Amino acid sequence: MAERKQVIAPRSAESVRLALLAGHNADLGTAQDSFHVASHMVRSNDKSERNLVRPLVAEATVAYGRCFTKSYVAGRTQLDKIITIPREHAAAHASLMRLRNSTVAHSESVLTPSFAIVELQREQPEGAVRAVRASAMTVHPSYSAEAIDEFHALVRAVKQVLLGEIERAKAALLARLAAEDLTALWDEGQQPQLLSVSLDSWDIHSRRPDYPETNIIKVLVEPARTFLMPSSGDLFAPKIHREEGAS
C-alpha cells in the first residue's frame, strides 16, 4: 500500500494563490455558519436564543466584509477582484456591506443612537420637579428572519463561486509540483505546529505575510483549543454515496 503524508507546499505563485483563496473561504465559512444559526435563533420562542441573533449577525457581517475590504496583508486581493457576485444576489451584497461599513464595524449609523435618560419626580401635582436618577440607553438594530435568510443565501452563493476558483487553484498547484522532484519535500517537508505563548509576548502590531514563512503558529491559548480547519472545500457539501459497480 502506498504511503501518504501531508506537508506544507513550498512557496510559489500557485501555493500563494491557493492560500489566498482558502483564507477568503474560511471567512465565508464563518459567515455561513453564523447566519445559519441566526436563521434558527430568530424564529425561536426562547428570548435568550433570540438575544443571540444580533451578535451572530454581527460576527457573520464582519467575517463576510473581510473578504471585500482592504487588507494590510501583502498580496491579499479583495474577493470582488477575483470573482463576480452573482447578479441575483448583488442587492443583498450591497446591503450587507452597508450594514458592515456603517453599523457593525463602525458607529456611524442612525440605527444605533444613544440617549441620556433622566428620571423625573414630582411629589405633588403642582409641585416642583426634580431629576432623581440619570441613565442612558442605546438602540440596537434588529434583523428580520427574511433579511437573515437573504444574507445567508448570498454567502452560500458567493462561496460556491469561490469553491470553483479553489478547485482550479488546486489543479494548478498539483500541475506545478508534477514537474518537480519531490524527494526532498517528502523527507524534509513540515506540517503546521501550534506554539502556546503568553499575552505579553504577542505583538499586536504584527502583520502576517501573504504566505507563511514558518510552520510555527503562535497562539494565545492552549494548542488543544486552537483548531486547524480545512479551508479549501465546503464543509457543508453533501456526501455522495455510490452503489458498488456504479461509475
What pLDDT is attached to residue 246?
43
| DSSP annotation string for the chain | -------PPPP-HHHHHHHHHHHHHHHHHHHHHHHHHHHHHTT-S-HHHHTTHHHHHHHHHHHHHHTTS--SSTT---GGGTS---GGGHHHHHHHHHHIIIIISSS--TTS-EEEEEEEEESSTTS-EEEEEEEEEE------HHHHHHHHHHHHHHHHHHHHHHHHHHHHHHHHHHTS--HHHHHH----EEEE--GGG--TT----SS-SSSEEEESS-GGGS-----SS-TTPPP----TT--
Tell me: the pLDDT tens digits for 150-172? Answer: 999 999 999 999 999 999 999 99
**Is 35 within the bounds of a domain?**
yes
pLDDT interval class at 242 (50, 70, 90): very low
Distances in Å between the Cα of 186 and the Cα atoms of 9, 15, 107 are 11, 17, 51
The count of structural domains within the chain is 1
Tell me: the pLDDT tens digits for 19-72? Answer: 999 999 999 999 999 999 999 999 999 999 999 999 999 999 999 999 999 888
Query: Cell 510552520 maps to which residue?
Result: 215
**Is 243 within the bounds of a domain?**
no
The span from the CA of 161 to the CA of 108, in Å, is 32
The span from the CA of 144 to the CA of 141, in Å, is 10
| DSSP annotation string for 195-243 | EE--GGG--TT----SS-SSSEEEESS-GGGS-----SS-TTPPP----
What pLDDT is attached to residue 78?
95
Position 119 pLDDT exceeds 90:
yes
The 10 Å Cβ neighbour count of residue 162 is 20
What pLDDT is attached to residue 113?
82
Q: What percent of the chain has pLDDT over 70?
A: 87
**Is 55 within the bounds of a domain?**
yes
Nearest residue to 144 (alpha-carbon basis) of 88, 99, 101: 99
The structure's pTM equals 0.81
Tell me: the pLDDT tens digits for 61-101? Answer: 999 999 999 888 878 899 999 999 999 999 999 999 999 98
**Is 231 within the bounds of a domain?**
no
Supply the range of the domain harboring residue 207: 13-225
39 neighbors 149 (Cβ within 8 angstroms):
yes
206 or 55: which carries more pLDDT confidence? 55
Q: What percent of the chain has pLDDT over 90?
A: 63
**Is 219 within the bounds of a domain?**
yes
- Tell me the one-letter amino acid at 238: P
What pLDDT is attached to residue 206?
78
The 10 Å Cβ neighbour count of residue 82 is 15
What pLDDT is attached to residue 156?
98
What pLDDT is attached to residue 159?
97
**Is 24 within the bounds of a domain?**
yes
